[in-house]
C-alpha cells in the first residue's frame, strides 16, 4: 500500500535524524492519525486540479508580494545581491574569513564553481533569500545539512547551495506560483498557509530542504540520483500539504525534523 510504505520511509528518516518518533506520532494531530484521515476531496491524489476558493484581501496581497519576489533575477552586479551572498557566507561560516565574490572557496558551500552568480539561473534572487532565511531561522538544521552531519553519507554528495536553488525552483513549480493562481491541492493549501504566515514560502522551503536530506539518507542516494530524490521529496510534500488540520507550515509532520 502506498500510504504504508510512505509511513515506513518517514519513520526511517526520523530515525536517521535521531528523533524520538513516539513524540511525533502520538495525538490527534499526529502524522499517522492525519494519514488515516485524508480529506475526501483528495482521494484521487494530491495533484488533481481544483477550483480556487475566493482569496481574502490579505491572501491576495501576500501572493502578489511573493510573485514580485519570484520575478527578481539574481544579478551579480547589484550591490544588494552581492551583500546577500556575503551575508550567506558569514551565516554559514562565522569563523572563516569572507572570500572575494569569485573564489574557489565558494565551492565549499556547494556552488559548482568559483562564481556563485553563475548557478542561480532559474532560481532567481529568492533562492538566495531562502538560504539566508534557513540559516537565520533554523541555524542548527542549516549547519547540519551544510556539513552533512546526519546519517551515513555518500561518497559523492549533493552540493548544498545548488541543491537549495533546485528546491526553491521545485517549490515554485509545485505550488504553481508563476501560473497566475494555483489549481492543485498543494497550491491551494499553500495559499491558506500564506494567509496565516507571510513567510510561509520560506518556512516551507526549510521543511522541503530537511525533507530532501531525509529522503537522500533513506534512499542511500548519491549525486546522480539527486533528481529522483527531489521528485520523491515533492511527492512527499504534496501528501503532507493534503492532510487535514494543516493551518500553518508548523503543522506539517516534516516540520518536526527541523532544529533551531
pLDDT, one tens digit per residue, over 58-85 is: 999 999 999 999 999 999 999 999 999 9
CA distances from 237 to 13, 46, 190, 207 (A): 14, 10, 11, 9
The answer to whether 188 and 141 are in contact (CB under 8 A) is no
Say how far apart CA 232 and CA 9 lie, in whole Å. 11
Q: What is the per-residue pLDDT across 178-190, written as a single tens digit (0 to 9) for each?
A: 877 888 999 999 9
- Taking the chain, what is the end-to-end CA distance rounded to the nearest angstrom? 34
| Beta-ladder partners of 224 | none
Q: Residues, the chain, total?
A: 260
Half-sphere exposure of 190 (CA within 13 A, CB side): 28
The answer to whether 219 and 232 are in contact (CB under 8 A) is yes
Say how far apart CA 135 and CA 142 lie, in whole Å. 5
Please report, for the chain, the start and end positions of each structural domain, with discontinuous segments joined by +. 2-257
Give the chain's radius of gyration (CA, Å).
18
Would you state the cell numbers that stand for residue 34, as one nine-digit string?
492525519
Q: Is 181 helix (H, G, I), strand (E, B) or coil?
A: coil
Q: What is the per-residue pLDDT across 121-169, written as a single tens digit (0 to 9) for each?
A: 878 999 999 999 999 999 999 999 999 999 988 889 999 999 999 999 9
User: What's residue 182's pLDDT?
Assistant: 86
The more confident residue out of 78 and 10 is 78
DSSP category for residue 123: G
Angle at 212 between CA 200 and CA 98, to 5 degrees: 80
Q: Is the dihedral of CA 78, 83, 86, 87 positive or negative?
A: negative
Q: Where does 121-257 have alpha helices with state H?
A: 124-137, 139-146, 160-174, 185-196, 200-219, 226-241
DSSP category for residue 114: S
Phi and psi at 49, nearest 5°, equal -90, 140
User: What's residue 232's pLDDT?
Assistant: 97
Q: What is the per-residue pLDDT across 80-129, written as a single tens digit (0 to 9) for each?
A: 999 999 999 999 999 999 999 999 999 999 999 999 999 998 789 999 99
Amino acid at each position: 500500500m502506498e500510504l504504508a510504505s510512505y509511513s515506513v520511509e518517514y519513520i526511517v528518516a526520523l530515525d536517521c535524524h535521531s528523533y524520538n518518533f513516539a513524540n511525533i506520532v502520538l495525538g490527534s494531530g499526529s502524522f499517522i492519525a492525519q494519514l488515516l484521515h485524508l480529506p475526501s476531496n483528495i482521494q484521487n491524489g494530491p495533484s488533481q486540479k481544483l477550483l480556487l476558493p475566493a482569496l481574502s484581501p490579505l491572501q491576495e496581497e501576500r501572493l502578489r508580494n511573493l510573485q514580485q519576489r519570484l520575478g527578481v533575477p539574481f544579478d551579480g552586479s547589484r550591490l544588494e545581491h552581492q551583500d546577500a551572498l556575503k551575508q550567506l557566507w558569514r551565516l554559514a561560516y562565522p569563523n572563516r574569513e569572507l572570500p572575494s565574490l569569485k573564489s574557489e572557496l565558494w565551492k565549499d558551500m556547494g556552488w559548482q564553481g568559483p562564481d556563485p552568480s553563475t548557478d542561480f539561473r532559474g532560481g532567481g534572487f529568492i533562492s538566495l533569500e531562502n538560504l539566508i532565511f534557513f540559516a537565520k531561522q533554523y541555524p542548527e538544521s542549516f549547519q547540519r545539512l551544510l556539513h552533512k552531519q546526519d546519517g551515513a553519507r555518500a561518497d559523492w554528495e549533493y552540493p548544498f547551495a545548488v541543491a537549495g536553488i533546485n528546491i526553491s525552483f521545485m517549490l515554485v513549480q509545485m505550488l504553481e506560483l508563476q501560473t497566475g493562481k494555483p489549481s492543485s491541492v498543494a497550491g491551494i493549501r499553500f495559499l491558506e498557509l500564506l494567509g496565516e504566515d507571510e513567510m510561509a514560502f520560506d518556512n516551507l522551503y526549510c521543511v522541503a530542504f530537511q525533507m530532501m536530506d531525509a529522503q537522500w539518507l533513506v534512499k542511500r542516494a548519491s549525486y546522480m540520483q539527486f533528481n529522483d530524490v527531489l521528485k520523491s521529496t515533492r511527492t512527499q510534500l504534496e501528501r503532507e500539504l493534503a492532510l487535514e488540520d494543516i493551518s500553518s507550515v508548523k503543522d506539517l509532520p516534516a516540520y518536526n525534523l527541523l532544529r533551531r
